[in-house]
Amino acid sequence: MPPRSIGFIGLGVMGKPMAKNLLAAGYDLTVHSRSPGPVDELVAGGARRAPSAAACAAGQDVVILMLPDSPDSELVMLGPSGVLEADPLPALVVDMSSIQPGVSRRIAARAEAGGLPFVDAPVSGGEPGAIAGELAIMAGGPADAFEVLGPLFEVLGKSAVLCGPAGAGGAVKLANQMIVAANIQAVGEALLFAARSGLDPRVVVKAIRGGLAGSAVLDAKAPKMIAGDWAPGFRLELHLKDLDNALAAAREASAPVPVTTVVRQFVKTLVENGHAAEDHAAIARYGEQIAGSTIAP
């Protein structure tokens, strides 16, 4: 039987539009979140309010988590009044937060020991993708649980790929974020070089986007860099978190990732210098930290 009742925990920038899409698709939704505003908004739309994670999860067909970072997932799953204390337990939990794969594996082991199947399924696509229901979903967990989640993933995303056991989704998300960050930095370096060489960076983008330098990053982020438009989108401080998780996971896997290490250092510097809440396109502002160099004229 396909799932009908959903407990949704975490109504932030990503969680709120995702929960709204599930509500609009006719699911029976119960919500829980730290800030009351988004909860009120969902309740006004027909969702039920729950006073704790345990209460939100109790007896649901599926519980979805969309939380900021690893400690939040651990607390909501394993802490007091957490999902594992729900009575009765839900049938299935899917954590769509972007957290450390090792933490997902640990949570999965605890959940499954308690008889609760667990899937990690972080997403790519940012707030626009969440609103449009066009996220790319990278999942890890048991195949039958992934199967059950199919109809929900169709509401939330444009693709969902099962990548391995629990934690695999998170590892793939980190791989994704490594590529995105390095490519933003590379586009930033290329456009800064072009601008300092007296070229119009808009013409440069036009000349190269059809070739091997073409990418989703070039199309989505170069216009923001050129306009000096740093409104998020995806906040730089969240990308720093992802890169820190990536470096930790790469160390654990004994995988050398030198460019990721360099880019993370620039991102860290930018976050510490007042750019935390800007879009991650602001990775291209690395030059301002070094030499007062800007792409925009």
Residue 5 bridge partners (DSSP): 28
Please choose, out of 26-34, 56-64, 77-85, 157-165, the segment that lies near a second copy by the rule CB under 8 A. 157-165
Output the smallest distance, CB 64 to a second copy, in A: 19
The nearer residue to a second copy, 42 or 96, going by C-beta atoms, is 96
196 binds a second copy (CB under 8 A): yes
The nearer residue to a second copy, 115 or 292, going by C-beta atoms, is 292
Please choose, out of 14-22, 26-34, 35-43, 282-290, the segment that lies near a second copy by the rule CB under 8 A. 282-290
178 binds a second copy (CB under 8 A): yes
Query: How far is residue 171's CA from residue 163's CA, in Å, rounded to a whole number?
Result: 9
207 binds a second copy (CB under 8 A): yes
208 binds a second copy (CB under 8 A): yes
**Which of the residues are catalytic?**
173
The nearer residue to a second copy, 24 or 262, going by C-beta atoms, is 262
Query: How far is residue 217's CA from residue 284's CA, in Å, rounded to a whole number?
Result: 12
**DSSP classification of residue 250:** H
Residues 97-116 that bind a second copy (CB under 8 A): 101
**DSSP classification of residue 281:** G
Please choose, out of 23-31, 42-50, 68-76, 207-215, the segment that lies near a second copy by the rule CB under 8 A. 207-215
Edge to edge, the sheet with strand 5-9 lists: 48-49, 28-32, 5-9, 62-65, 93-95, 118-120
Residues 211-230 that bind a second copy (CB under 8 A): 211-218, 220
241 φ/ψ angles, rounded to the nearest 5 degrees: -55, -45
Output the smallest distance, CB 82 to a second copy, in A: 27
Query: How far is residue 82's CA from residue 130's CA, in Å, rounded to a whole number?
Result: 25
Q: Which residues contact 244 (CB under 8 A, 6 or more apart)?
A: 264
Of 64, 74, 71, 69, nearest in space to 31 by CA? 64
198 binds a second copy (CB under 8 A): yes
Residues 239-278 that bind a second copy (CB under 8 A): 246, 249-250, 253-260, 262-263, 266
Residue 6 bridge partners (DSSP): 29, 62
151 binds a second copy (CB under 8 A): no
Residues 8-37 that bind a second copy (CB under 8 A): none
| Long-range contacts (CB closer than 8 Å, 24 or more residues apart) made by 161-165 | 161/137, 163/138, 163/139, 164/140, 165/105, 165/108, 165/140, 165/141
The nearer residue to a second copy, 4 or 206, going by C-beta atoms, is 206
The nearer residue to a second copy, 99 or 186, going by C-beta atoms, is 186
174 binds a second copy (CB under 8 A): yes
67 binds a second copy (CB under 8 A): no
Query: How far is residue 148's CA from residue 61's CA, in Å, rounded to a whole number?
Result: 10
| Number of chain positions touching a second copy (CB under 8 A) | 74
Residues 117-146 that bind a second copy (CB under 8 A): 124-126, 129, 136, 138
Query: How far is residue 265's CA from residue 17's CA, in Å, rounded to a whole number?
Result: 32
- What is the radius of gyration, based on Cα positions, of the chain? 20
Output the smallest distance, CB 99 to a second copy, in A: 15
191 binds a second copy (CB under 8 A): yes
Do 114 and 91 meet the contact criterion of CB atoms below 8 Å apart? no
